Amino acid sequence: MTKRLFTSESVTEGHPDKVCDQISDAVLDEILNLDPDAHVACECIATTGLVLVMGEISTCCYVDIPKIARQVIRDIGYDNAAQRFDGNTCAVLTSIDEQSPDIAIGVNRKITINEHQSNLDRIGAGDQGIMFGYACDETDELMPLPISLAHKLAKKLSVVRKSNKLAYLRPDGKTQVTVEYDGNKPLRVDSVVVSTQHSEQASLQTIHDDVVEHVIKPVIPDALIDNETKIFVNPTGRFVVGGPQADSGLTGRKIIVDTYGGYARHGGGAFSGKDPTKVDRSASYMARYAAKNIVAAGLAKRCELQIAYAIGVSRPVSILVDTFGTGIAPDEKLSAVVSEVFDFRPAAIIEELDLARPIYRPFAAYGHFGRDDLNATWEKTDKVDELRSKLGVK
């Protein structure tokens, strides 16, 4: 087998792009709470002292978008001038229009076949596009190890900050983990990079020692660290100015962080701020659901699904399963079985995964997949027996 290195990164909830993702999904959640049939495409920009919420929203309800945005910013930890960005005082502008009627024609179309099929065909794909889902057996949550560890490090940074264990930390931060593989088997962690915003008073040595002790050691298993593992904490030596003051933020700019850390392919469509009729989001969730069940069923060690849609058409134009040579059956057969077990029409996805609910803001930081802590419906492995039965596997 060939040894290789693979690296994935994550960011904390205070990263400017993640601030925007969380605002977009908080707006979506508030609207879905009042109007589950709303069509929402909400995006956000954040920069020094300013947040702009924009997009296309068609709904029968009213929500106070500036109030929602300010609350999200404060919840993250940007709640006073010392944080360099303050949800209490920053300007919040909105620019909202209705969904394009040309898109609405495809999304809201109705086809009369029979009562049940008419219901499931009532929503066409809102755009053409390709979506991917992935799972592998490297971790308990069936995610690639590098992104799994990077997310856990980023989340731990926020936990020790908010609990005041490391009170000098500030909301912005990034993590990065490099794993050495022997073929497809993870062997060890080759390097860890943690960059965290901090107060001016904290010394580099204090930050380094505290992050190693309270963040890295509790997250990275001892078995994966050896004397050759490299650890970098704030390698530039200083990270005082952070958040939207240091760098502008934009919804959807961390799509690799949101998915599989680059270990699997991505179709290019962001998730946050989009209601579940948008297949960028819902079909990606369904593809993960299918891929995870295939791996959980022992039908493959690695599985990637590609789903493709045409605008206004409910059924996918193609479904592809790739097990990278690890499947117990040919990929063509697995693709056929997946098409039988899983219904990838948007209305069917919403129904199967119960997506017309205000559940999205918590997923806007630390990844949308492998999130067993949030009871994500797309993380269930309840199709294992059916998949095995279809393939004749005992």
pLDDT in tens, 92-149: 999 999 866 655 555 665 444 444 556 788 788 888 999 999 999 999 999 999 999 9
Mapped onto helix, strand or coil, the DSSP state of residue 253 is: coil
Whole-number pLDDT of residue 110 = 43
Q: What is the distance between the alpha carbons of residues 318 and 379, in angstroms, rounded to a whole number?
A: 23
Tell me the pTM.
Answer: 0.94
Q: Could you tell me the CA-to-CA distances from 23 to 42, 138, 175, 272, 306 in Å, in that order?
A: 9, 32, 22, 9, 29
Q: What is the distance between the alpha carbons of residues 316 and 121, in angstroms, rounded to a whole number?
A: 12
Helix, strand, coil fractions of the chain, as percent rounded to 5: 35, 25, 40
Whole-number pLDDT of residue 394 = 79
User: Residue 149 burial by CB count (10 A; 0-12/13-18/19+): exposed, middle or buried?
Assistant: buried
Tokens linked to 225: 């660290």
Cα three-residue angle 358-360-364, rounded to 5 degrees: 155
Whole-number pLDDT of residue 98 = 83
Whole-number pLDDT of residue 102 = 57
Whole-number pLDDT of residue 153 = 98
Whole-number pLDDT of residue 146 = 98
Q: Which regions of the chain are under pLDDT 50? A: 110-115
Whole-number pLDDT of residue 108 = 61
Strand order in the sheet with 169-182: 3-11, 169-182, 185-198, 230-233
Look at the block and give the residue holding tokens 């609910």. Answer: 357
Contacts (Cβ under 8 Å, ≥6 apart) of 105: 312
Distance of CA 88 to the CA centre of its chain: 27
Look at the block and give the residue holding tokens 């078995």. Answer: 223
- Length of the chain equals 394
Using N-to-C axis directions, what is the helix angle for 279-296 and 346-353, rounded to 10°? 60
Whole-number pLDDT of residue 32 = 97
Q: What is the distance between the alpha carbons of residues 55 and 36, in angstroms, rounded to a whole number?
A: 18
